[in-house]
Structure 1
Amino acid sequence: MPDKSTPKKKKPQPKWLKITFLILKIIRVPVLAVLAVYIGLWIGYTKLGQQPASEIFHMSTWRHLYDLVFAN
């Protein structure tokens, strides 16, 4: 019967796997932030504003919104 007081040894991870996990950990927050902005835009523009979802990415839409917000 093995002794329960001895710690189990982990198999070391390859360096490429450690680097991949580090990159995923770093980019997780910005990716989630961009996703949250997109979902908010989609809900606000298409569901509440009754506009087509394809117009979210048109520059003319954002130019018009900018002109409305910052008009004199």
Structure 2
Amino acid sequence: MSDKPVPKSKQPQAKWLKITWTVFKIFRVPVLAVLAVYIGLWIGYTKFGHQPASEILHMSTWRHLYDLVFAS
């Protein structure tokens, strides 16, 4: 005879737990991507650019950057 252990059957998960896990799996990559972009902006603008962190998301900052890049 074989002495292999018999696999236990999985307990059914609660419906709310399954939905929560699915929502977490869907949103984790976009949330991490936005977080990585914000951290990159913060490091680049405040640490390398020596500017105040409060100006990172101001529209005037990005308009100025756009004008610098696409100036003729």
- State the TM-score, normalizing by the size of structure 1: 0.89
Q: Which runs of 5+ in 2 are unaligned?
A: none
When structure 1 is superposed on structure 2, of 22-31 and 4-13 the one drifting more is 4-13
Q: RMSD of the TM alignment (CA)?
A: 1.3
- Give a deviation string over 1:34-57, Cα, whole Å, max 9, x none: 011001000000000000000001
Distance across 2 between alignment mates of 1:6 and 1:71: 71
Q: Which amino acid aligns with 1:6?
A: V
Matched residues, percent identical?
80
How is 1:1-72 mapped onto 2 (pairs within 5 angstroms)? 5-72=5-72
Q: Which runs of 5+ in 1 are unaligned?
A: none
Paired residue total: 70
1:12 to partner: Cα distance: 1.1
Distance across 1 between alignment mates of 2:28 and 2:4: 38
- State the TM-score, normalizing by the size of structure 2: 0.89
Matched residue of 1:71: which SS? Answer: coil
Matched residue of 1:12: which SS? Answer: coil
Q: Which amino acid aligns with 2:69?
A: V
